[in-house]
Amino acid sequence: MTDKNIVLLVGGVGGAKLAFGLNKLVSPENLTIIVNTADDFWLYGLRICPDVDTIMYTLSGLVDKQNGWGISDDTAITLNALERIGEAPWFRLGDRDLATHMLRTQLWYEGYSLTAITKRLTSALDIKCNILPMTNTPVETHVDTVERGELPFQMYFVKHRWQPTARNIRFDNIEQANVSDESRAAIENADAIIVGPSNPWLSIQPILSVPGMRELLTAQQVPRIAVTPLIGGEAVKGPTAKIMRELGYTTTVQTIAEFYSGVINRFAYDKRDAPLQIENLRLLALDTLMQSEERRIELADQLLHWLED
Amino acid sequence: MTDKNIVLLVGGVGGAKLAFGLNKLVSPENLTIIVNTADDFWLYGLRICPDVDTIMYTLSGLVDKQNGWGISDDTAITLNALERIGEAPWFRLGDRDLATHMLRTQLWYEGYSLTAITKRLTSALDIKCNILPMTNTPVETHVDTVERGELPFQMYFVKHRWQPTARNIRFDNIEQANVSDESRAAIENADAIIVGPSNPWLSIQPILSVPGMRELLTAQQVPRIAVTPLIGGEAVKGPTAKIMRELGYTTTVQTIAEFYSGVINRFAYDKRDAPLQIENLRLLALDTLMQSEERRIELADQLLHWLED
């Protein structure tokens, strides 16, 4: 167990793996996970926060390990009933999972902030570390696509399985967002900031775009490490490489490091990739593939050791 | 099968029994059921219309016959999960039932009227007759109680099981409501209007309080029959008699008939009660207890026969 204060910035499934590893090695009071909420949306009147849920379900052990999201062995009685009354569901919501969205929505209308709601949910799930939404303000990612025009994020990502060609990404309402007091305090107290191996354009960029966030992060004279989401030029899962190509980037770890330029001072990439050298950036080649729980803990451990260095 | 156009005004469980009977005897295109929606409320972000649902579930055959509401053999996986995360549910929402509320809420936010939403739901449930909400405007019953002050209807009725002493009943926003085009057309084409054996103060009064409704009903020169909800001075189920006492009424069928004075021109009461005579009101004593499906059809049949007279 390290007693360093660690702040991890993440999106959903990819970042959750590193969150899982860090959660095993960092005392809960020292670990803060700031989660993308630009994927959040309303469905059937319910407020759904897919990335926050994925992190919560992963850390609580409830997660469906096959998918990396949702609750293990969840049933779909409500969704099947919806289908029977003519509404073909395109977003999977298990019956146990629904309770999370319903309680969140109830508290939302009672006037609680998303930070307070998330605190209540994590407590109920017996999660001891600090999971914070990137902001309390609703922000909405829209992906402008060649084939289907502009799509709200979940329509792009889930309904159309990220198959349309992206040509632009926009975070609606981001200018109204701000860094919450809880996030600010965690970042100011951080001994290290780690950007998880999440999609830089879809998951991390919204966090960095919260007004004041980039400046707050770079003001911290501590290791600020990004972990590559690419291995050998491809994403482990999800659309990172595809989106990079579509937006005109080369799908290399170098591009990832450059994308985070100014924000990070260290970069961990995969040892399968060619050795990297970038000015003003400390670099470390690691096995970043986390296909088992042991590997997640091992990678977290290697990153924590690097902090001593 | 009668080919008369029948309009039935009802609340939930009690009225649903007569709706069931009429639905067996009246051609679907000739039967319109106008349902109280002042009990509707928001819970967990979902729009719930308990009386409309009870009528829909009863006519579709889905209803839990023991309770008279909800769906038969429904599960409670989501509600149990809500309980595990610390939210003790006080309003029963089964997993299949939830689909109704979720689709309704989705359509609500898409801008459909409650009339259109109800049409879509009844079609999905293969209900052929016409179920109409009393108005498309949200109206909220509040019950002012001696012990707990003012309570939103479902808090009074479900959470506190109608045990607090009522001293006043208010229909918030009723002055903004109006008679929908669909309701108006049905009433104007009616060959008979039947007020079901629902709670006059909680279920029927909201319908009659929709601006324009009372005048529209009384303008129809047709039989306008109310069926008593009291038998021998007591309600078959629910708080009708209790509320009457609390509001200072004597719990007699005479009081019920007087409550509807001006709206109805006929009154069907139970033959267990003492013979009644009221000026300007045609009266009929019947067996109004509907404890079996056969009895529901039989009572509906007797009312329809009375129309010939």
Q: What would the pLDDT profile of B98-155 be if each residue is shown by its tens digit?
A: 999 999 999 999 999 999 999 999 999 999 999 999 999 999 999 999 999 999 999 9
Q: Classify B198 in phi/psi space as left (phi over 0), alpha (psi -120 to 50) or beta.
A: beta
Nearest residue of chain B to residue A124 (CA atoms): B85
Distance from CA of A221 to the nearest CA of B (A): 39
Residue A3 scores a pLDDT above 90 = no
CA atoms A77, A83, A86, A91: torsion sign: positive
Residues of B with CB under 8 A from a CB of A: 42-47, 75, 77-79, 81-82, 84-87, 95-96, 98-100, 102-103, 105-106, 108-109, 120-121, 124-125
Q: What mean pLDDT, rounded, does chain B reach?
A: 96
Q: Are A46 and B46 inside 8 Å of each other by CB?
A: yes
Residue B65 scores a pLDDT above 90 = yes
Residues of A with CB under 8 A from a CB of B: 42-47, 75, 77-79, 81-82, 84-87, 95-96, 98-100, 102-103, 105-106, 108-109, 120-121, 124-125
Q: Of residues A2 and A264, which shows the higher confidence score?
A: A264
Q: Which one of B75, B102, B121 has the shortest CB-CB distance to A44?
A: B102
In sequence order, which residues have a C-beta less than 8 Å from that of residue A98 and are 6 or more positions away?
Answer: A46, A78, B78, B81, B98
Residue closest to A202 by CA, chosen among A10, A4, A8, A5: A10
ipTM entry: 0.93
Q: Classify B183 in phi/psi space as left (phi over 0), alpha (psi -120 to 50) or beta.
A: alpha
- According to the model, what pLDDT value does residue B94 have? 97
B65 burial via Cβ count (<10 Å: 0-12, 13-18, 19+)? exposed
Question: What band does A2 get if pLDDT is binned at 50, 70 and 90?
Answer: confident
Distance from CA of B48 to the nearest CA of A (A): 11
Q: Which one of B102, B121, B125 has the shortest CB-CB distance to A45?
A: B102
Distance from CA of A197 to the nearest CA of B (A): 30
Residue type for position B167: R
Q: Whole-prediction pTM value?
A: 0.94
- According to the model, what pLDDT value does residue A196 have? 98
pLDDT tens readout for residues B264-274: 999 999 999 99
Domains detected in chain A: 6-39+128-307 (3.40.50.10680)
Q: Which residues of A touch B75 (CB under 8 A)?
A: 77, 95
Question: What band does B52 get if pLDDT is binned at 50, 70 and 90?
Answer: very high
Question: What band does B236 get if pLDDT is binned at 50, 70 and 90?
Answer: confident
